[in-house]
Amino acid sequence: MKICTTCNKEVTDDYVEFKCPKCDKDIIIRCGHCRSTAKTYKCSCGFEGP
Ligand SMILES: [Zn+2]
Ligand SMILES: [Zn+2]
């Protein structure tokens, strides 16, 4: 089970997953909704991205 980093909802098939560009450690998961509304995400290292 994967959780969207932004809204903390469970994601199913419509999501993207990538490593944090700053710490290269944490995995960022964004659901389709947060992507289409361009919400920011925040990594545990403090990095915030579009
Ligand atoms: Zn989301
Ligand atoms: Zn990070």
Centre of ligand 2 to C-alpha 6, Å, is 14
> What is the total count of domains within the chain?
1
Would you say residue 10 lies in a domain? Answer: yes
Quick one: pLDDT at residue 16?
A: 95
Q: How confident is the model at residue 50 (pLDDT cuts 50, 70, 90)?
A: confident
Enter the pTM of the model. 0.86
- Which ligand sits nearest to residue 5's alpha carbon? 1
Would you say residue 50 lies in a domain? Answer: no
| Rounded CA separation 38/25 (Å) | 22
Would you say residue 27 lies in a domain? Answer: yes
Centre of ligand 1 to C-alpha 49, Å, is 14
Centre of ligand 1 to C-alpha 34, Å, is 4
Centre of ligand 2 to C-alpha 16, Å, is 16
In sequence order, the 6+-apart residues with CB closer than 8 A to the CB of 21 are 47, 49
**Per-state percent for the chain, helix, strand, coil, to nearest 5:** 10, 35, 55
Would you say residue 18 lies in a domain? Answer: yes
Give the SS3 label for residue 19: strand
pLDDT tens profile 10-34 = 999 999 999 999 999 999 999 999 9
